[in-house]
Amino acid sequence: MMPARGFKICPNCRFAWRDRDHFLRDESLTIIGYQANFKDLRAGILMFNHSCRGTLALPVTCFEDLYIGPVIQQRLTGTEACPGYCFRKSRLNPCPNECECAFVRHIITLLKNKQTHKQADEKDARLHGPDNRGVVY
């Protein structure tokens, strides 16, 4: 039986991630979007694709502790310095501005890097043969 409670359940295939670590380490997930909530940045939504083609939405609050940089008070959205990334869901670029909104983009970069590392690991495993593979999921 699947546990009733966990970190997240895929709305498509019903796969359950038991905790965030499990979710972060899952190679079948890809971050695909960020829907900013300008009234409450922590309530913004991060979107992930699951390998089953399902899409998952999780609020920024689920990952906010991954950001350990300074808290910035000023918001530059709409100013000349602002590249406007937060207005475009599929823009996952890091933002260099000292802006209140930028911490979410740090988190996105972190999540993306995890995926890149996973891909690099996979390439590595292919190069060196299957013996180097770690845990099989």
12 touches Zn ion by CB under 5 A = yes
The site map against Zn ion for 16-35 (x = CB under 5 A) is --------------------
Identify the bridge partners of residue 59 per DSSP, sorted by sequence position: 45
Nearer to Zn ion by C-beta: 29 or 102? 29
Q: Which of 8, 97, 83 is nearest to 47 (CA)?
A: 8
Q: Which of residues 41-100 bind Zn ion (CB under 5 A)?
A: 50, 52, 54
Q: Residue with structure tokens 């699951």?
A: 50
Rounded to an integer, what is the distance from CA 19 to the centroid of its chain? 15
The size of the interface with Zn ion (CB under 5 A), counted in residues, is 7
Minimum distance from residue 9 beta carbon to Zn ion (Å):
9
Tokens representing residue 80 in the block: 């000349």
By the 8 A CB rule, do 15 and 56 touch? no
Closest CB 53 distance from Zn ion, rounded Å: 7
Contact between 67 and 106 (Cβ < 8 Å) = yes
Closest approach, Cβ 17 to Zn ion, in A, equals 10
Binding site for Zn ion (CB under 5 A): 10, 12-13, 15, 50, 52, 54
